Structure 1
Amino acid sequence: MEVRIEDKLAYIIAIVNDFAARFSLNPQQAYRYLSRFKGIDFVDEFYDIEHTQSFEDVVDDLALYCRKNGGALA
């Protein structure tokens, strides 16, 4: 089944906003952090799996993935 780009983009925006809230960042800071440490790429690549999880679990996954790629948020 093909994923609509609009659905994937809306999902990524929602995840960035949740990530920002969790780490007390504004959405622009969160997006830059996730881009720098490959979190956006992670969500894009594994969208089919990640979108079946809770937002809390996805933010946890992103934080861990970004730490493995040099990020410092815990």
Structure 2
Amino acid sequence: MSELKKRINYTVACVHEFAKQFQISGKTAFQYLDQYKGIQFLKENYDIEHTLSIEDAVDDLAVLCRKNGGRY
């Protein structure tokens, strides 16, 4: 599997788990994470984040998004 495909799959998994944790749709989760810089964070920190559990990654996303004005 190519590196790009791994990154995409990881991002999709994080968005899905974020949506599940906060009981929102996948589309809403993606839009929220994009707006509050969560997607950018995953892109820039993939090398570290993908070594953590998905739960830790979702927690990191929630903290980051709240710092950037989000509510989840």
Q: TM-score, normalized by length of structure 1? A: 0.94
Deviation at 1:14, TM superposition (A): 0.4
Check if 1:50 corresponds to 2:49.
yes
TM-score by length of 2: 0.96
Q: Tell me what 1:35 maps to.
A: 34
Letter in 2 for 1:53: L
Secondary structure of the equivalent of 2:43? helix
CA drift of 1:38 comes to 0.2
Q: Distance in 1 between matches of 2:68 and 2:11?
A: 19
Gaps of 5+ in 2: none
> Alignment RMSD, CA only?
0.9
SS at match of 2:17: helix
Paired-residue identity, %: 48
The answer for unaligned runs of 5 or more in structure 1 is none
Count of aligned positions = 71
1:10 corresponds to which residue? 9
Q: Please identify runs of 4+ aligned residues in structure 1 that moved more than 3 A.
A: none
The structure in which a higher percent of residues are helix is 2
